[in-house]
Structure 1
Amino acid sequence: MSFRLILASTSLIALAACGEREPAAPVEATQTITLTAEAIERATPVAVAPTPTPAPTEGEAATPPAQPDPGLIRVQILLDRSTFSPGVIDGLAGDNTRQAAAAFRSANGMTGDAVDADLLRKLAETDRSAAMTEYTLTEADLAGPFSPPPGDLASQARNGVNYTSVRERIAERFHITEPLLQALNPDVDFRRAGVRIVVPAVSDNALPEVTRIVVDKTERSLRAFDASNRLVAFYPATIGSTERPAPSGTLTVVGVAKEPDYTYDPDKLSYDRGPNKITVPAGPNNPVGSTWIALSRQSYGIHGTPDPSKVAKTASNGCIRLTNWDAQQLAAAVKPGVEVRFV
């Protein structure tokens, strides 16, 4: 895979990378409960430990999907703004939110990993801004270009990897799942400019300069530290797989590519996607998302994803996959030579 890398010397480097999106699933409705901005601003999370939903036995009806908790939506937004990322905002209990809460609690003199009223109180003390806001859809939002849902690499190369819809574009801008965005705006037609919608009040807070990164393969997380060894960001991450594990030991950052192309070259890569070299153009649904942070081992990097809801929940081809917005935030704070340690 080749990428346009931004380096101190402004030279260009060709690299290979990993990542491929699974076929997009249809957006399912979640409007069995009413969610309003006012309810979210007043809510506290229901302290329930995340548990996997068991598969139904033959003849048994499937368990209805969990419904978003207004209190968890509020906590996830405040964690996102604190740079202790829960990944995508969905209002559902899960390991990504629990681990972000644990990291925030530890950094702020608290113990445990509970997502509870005490956590919310501390988050609100450090950030008193409203959790929700309004946004007006613009003609630019509607203008596209849009692409079909990503298929195999050949179809991505032919059709492009732009957003598939206005709703997907807006959901990513505000770090939220499409089903939750629609549930917050149940009667909205996202194809109409001038419509006001309710969205999370996220921010793109810049990190201080990052001098060290720790990738925890067991926890499926990435931590970023500044020169004083202070934890400045926590991100959930997809990290390799059993067949193609992430590296071990210590690497360094080589450079950063914004809006990278993705090139599959069967002569350079060990995993099989076909016999032909294929270049997928830049775009948010590119197999490596909107950002590539190149590491000092060829074909390995930290990058974005076309499917933020699956971060830390699926496998990768050895690389470290973050949401696009988390990858962008981290990329803006690193320079060549930053240590990346795998534990």
Structure 2
Amino acid sequence: MKRIVLLAGLLCLAEPALAAALKPDAINAAEFSGKIPTEEKLSPLAVKLQVLLDRAHFSPGEIDGRFGENVEKALLAYAEANALPPGKALTPEIWAKLKANSGDPVLAQYTITAEDLKGPFLAKLPAKMEQMKTLKHLNYTGPKEALSERFHISQELLAELNPGQKFNRAGDAITIVSLPPEAMPTPAVRVEVDKERQTVKAFGADGALLAFYPASVGSEEKPTPSGSLKVDTVDANPNYRYNPKYKFSGVKSKTPFNIKPGPNNPVGAMWIGLTEPGYGIHGTAEPSRVSKSDSHGCVRLTNWDVLRLSRMVKKGVEVAFVDDQQAAK
């Protein structure tokens, strides 16, 4: 019994320590001292780094406060784009460059509004695609999910930054990621999808790398196309039409069916259709799984990343599917 009480005491001591470490002041003041945070636990430095990368349009995917694979991918792309020494890890040179280009605090206060609570919301997102076809919309499951996506942050981290908050009362002040207003983006003339690295890059007319995104790119069962395609359509809030010819695992329907629009639609909030029928770049209802799970042959980004990319492309823009060796040339 003593051991159980002791363990419980240790757990109680650990929780306030974590909350203290993730206070806004600690995150805003975080500095890189040469020690890389681990992926296993939340880190003030990891939060700040992810926000700085997101602001620079070198997306770490979902801002979750962990130094994971998507952060490493974004750091590598940022180093290459800025002619800095490349490497999987954070370096003093990369940190200095990121900070120099973004001096504002990375966290801020936001007041929940009546509009945030308005909905309509889903009581629960069905696990199976066939169960979605009768729903009138594929909206968020509640204000917490909606706020998390608006500020590019995981629901877990949003809760850690706001202990005890239920995100259901207008007028409450909460801590969120501070993202500056989006400027008019430079048009992209070429999009590169790296099938091995699971990444997407957008390039300008001068060859400069404009933006980087982690992605889920196909699977062994449903591989992505090869070679070069072109953007055919750019559709916000798309309906999703399932064709039995896709033969998705877990879908039994022998007839086509439609799924209504919404950010939790199977293709998320945006569809960038390609000239190969049935293939596109799109969003997802599960931002935490981007680059960490397979897709059904398309290119899957977070909803906010595909929205950013959609503002940079138009019909006719090249989308090249490459592997590591081709991308290195």
* Shorter-chain TM-score range: 0.7 to 0.9
For the pair shown, the structure with the greater C-alpha radius of gyration is: 2
Does residue 209 of the first structure (1) align with residue 197 of the second (2)?
Answer: no
Does residue 48 of the first structure (1) align with residue 36 of the second (2)?
Answer: yes
Rounded to whole Å, the distance in 1 between the matches of 2:220 and 2:239 is: 26
Q: Deviations 1:75-124 (Å, cap 9, x if unpaired)?
A: 10010010000000011111110110111122122112322443222111
Measured after TM superposition, the shift of residue 269 of structure 1 is 2.4
Does residue 164 of the first structure (1) align with residue 141 of the second (2)?
Answer: yes
1:315 to 286, 294, 304: 294
Contact preservation (8 Å) 1:149, 1:164: yes
- Any gaps of 5 or more consecutive residues in structure 2? 1-14, 323-329
Does residue 135 of the first structure (1) align with residue 110 of the second (2)?
Answer: yes
Match of 2:23 in 1: 36
Q: Which moved more, 1:42-51 or 1:96-105?
A: 42-51
Match of 2:73 in 1: 99
Measured after TM superposition, the shift of residue 157 of structure 1 is 2.0
Match of 1:246 in 2: 224
Measured after TM superposition, the shift of residue 32 of structure 1 is 6.3
Aligned length: 299
Q: Secondary structure at the match of 1:342?
A: strand
Measured after TM superposition, the shift of residue 31 of structure 1 is 7.4
Instruction: Return structure 1 stretches of 4+ with deviation > 6 angstroms.
Output: none
User: TM-score, normalised on structure 2?
Assistant: 0.87
Tell me the C-alpha RMSD between the 2 structures.
1.7
AA partner of residue 301 (structure 2): L
Measured after TM superposition, the shift of residue 202 of structure 1 is 1.8
Contact preservation (8 Å) 1:206, 1:329: no
Match of 1:237 in 2: 215
Q: Secondary structure at the match of 1:141?
A: helix
Contact preservation (8 Å) 2:290, 2:301: yes
AA partner of residue 269 (structure 2): S
Contact preservation (8 Å) 1:81, 1:205: no
Identify the structure with bigger relative contact order (alpha carbons < 8 Å, sequence gap 6+): 1
Q: Percent identity?
A: 40
- Any gaps of 5 or more consecutive residues in structure 1? 1-29, 52-65
AA partner of residue 226 (structure 1): G
Rounded to whole Å, the distance in 2 between the matches of 1:102 and 1:47 is: 17
Q: Report the CA distance shift for 1:39/1:315 in structure 2 as closer, same or farther (over 3 A).
A: same
Q: Deviations 1:204-251 (Å, cap 9, x if unpaired)?
A: 344200000110011100000011111000000000001111111110
Q: Deviations 1:175-227 (Å, cap 9, x if unpaired)?
A: 00000000000021211110000111124344200000110011100000011
User: TM-score, normalised on structure 1?
Assistant: 0.83
